[in-house]
Amino acid sequence: MKHLICAFTGILLLSGGFCFADYEIHKDIAYYAPSEIKSGIQKERGTLDLLLPEQRNGFATIIFFHGGGLYDGEKENVQSYLKKEFGSRKDLAIVTPNYRRYKDVKVVNGTRKLFPAFYQDAAAAVAWVKKNIAKYGGDPDKIYISGHSGGGYLALMLILKKGYLRERKIDPDRDLKACFPISATPRTNSCISQERYGGNGTEFRADQDSPIFMSTWAKGTLPIILCVEGRSTANHLVGYREGNMLVYALLKQCAKYPAVKLHVFEEKTHTSVIAPALQTIRREMMELER
């Protein structure tokens, strides 16, 4: 009965909304203005789902980018475990954006060309939330970004390569609360590597599109909390555990980045790390909001 009432109320309150569990979900919101859309795939992938909490006054928001190595994945895929781990918070909205993936573009002369569309999409999604969340009752000063695997890589690179957010008039150190990458790929993403250098993407690269490279001289004050599995999953010469430990060390020692933490979950794999990482993120958010 509760869910029936919630669903009916959600439909009445906000057009296009409906209630699932304890969240009212607004699906496929376009985060680009119509004048910015240059292709069908940009229009198709340039959407986000907004999951509103029970408390509708001054709530915080976490933007979570799905994984899939920038090649695959969907925004809906991450919602079940996000709702499970964050459902105890009645004052936290969840935003899951889609973004353009390498599988969405054709192979031309043996290569798929997409760079930097995924960065641009992710930055546009963050900007949409910053601009619009207050209309739903959210606090625009309480916005976090996160993601798992390829989505964690994307969230982290937005912070390390600030230009994409700045193009959207977002200063991450001023406009966001924290970045929580979960098991982010530490090297240059394999799809970017294939596009840029050819080959099959298995070669180890650490250029300007790798967290390892960018962490050497990162500047800023936004808290970065790295979460990673403990088992040394092979990732083309650099495991996720070792690579993220290196990113942490570079931020801490080389860049003297003041607000970085590392959580290693020793008994977890690349997939099973998600639940304890989200629980840790929930605690970290509570600390930041005190």
Choose the weakest-confidence range: 10-19, 101-110, 260-269. Answer: 10-19
Kindly report the length of the chain: 290
pLDDT, tens digit (0-9, with 9 covering 90-100), for 128-142 = 999 999 999 999 999
Beta-carbon contacts of residue 215 (< 8 Å; ≥ 6 apart): 160, 247, 250, 251, 254, 255, 257
pLDDT, tens digit (0-9, with 9 covering 90-100), for 53-79 = 999 999 999 999 999 999 999 999 999
* 169 and 86 Cβ atoms separated by less than 8 Å: no
Choose the weakest-confidence range: 22-36, 82-96, 126-140, 219-233. Answer: 219-233
pLDDT at 232: 58
Cβ atoms within 10 Å of 141's Cβ, excluding its own: 14
Mean pLDDT, range 258-266, rounded to an integer: 96
pLDDT at 22: 80
Q: What percent of the chain has pLDDT over 90?
A: 82
The rounded distance, in Å, linking the Cα atoms of 9 and 41 is 34
Query: Is the predicted pLDDT of residue 95 greater than 80, yes or no?
Result: yes
The rounded Cα 22 to chain-centroid distance in angstroms is: 22
The rounded distance, in Å, linking the Cα atoms of 18 and 91 is 18
The rounded distance, in Å, linking the Cα atoms of 250 and 186 is 12
* 178 and 98 Cβ atoms separated by less than 8 Å: no
| Strand, coil or helix: 114 | coil
pLDDT, tens digit (0-9, with 9 covering 90-100), for 188-205 = 999 999 999 998 877 889
What is the tally of structural domains in the chain? Answer: 1
The band of 114, judged by pLDDT with boundaries at 50, 70 and 90, is: very high
pLDDT at 238: 53
Examine residue 116 and say whether the peptide bond preceding it is cis (omega within 30 degrees of 0). yes
Structural domain of residue 8, as residue ranges?
2-288
The label of the residue with tokens 């009432």 reads: 5
Q: What is the CATH number of the domain that holds 130?
A: 3.40.50.1820
pLDDT at 135: 97
pLDDT, tens digit (0-9, with 9 covering 90-100), for 193-238 = 999 999 887 788 999 999 999 999 999 999 999 999 987 555 444 5
- Retrieve residue 1's tokens: 């009965």
pLDDT at 6: 40
pLDDT, tens digit (0-9, with 9 covering 90-100), for 266-275 = 989 899 999 9
pLDDT, tens digit (0-9, with 9 covering 90-100), for 171-182 = 999 999 999 999
Query: Is the predicted pLDDT of residue 38 greater than 90, yes or no?
Result: yes
The rounded distance, in Å, linking the Cα atoms of 268 and 74 is 23
Residue 227 burial (CB < 10 Å; 0-12/13-18/19+)?
Answer: buried
pLDDT at 202: 78
pLDDT at 239: 77
* 66 and 75 Cβ atoms separated by less than 8 Å: yes
Cβ atoms within 10 Å of 72's Cβ, excluding its own: 14
The rounded distance, in Å, linking the Cα atoms of 143 and 92 is 10
pLDDT at 3: 39
The rounded Cα 245 to chain-centroid distance in angstroms is: 20
The rounded distance, in Å, linking the Cα atoms of 38 and 44 is 11
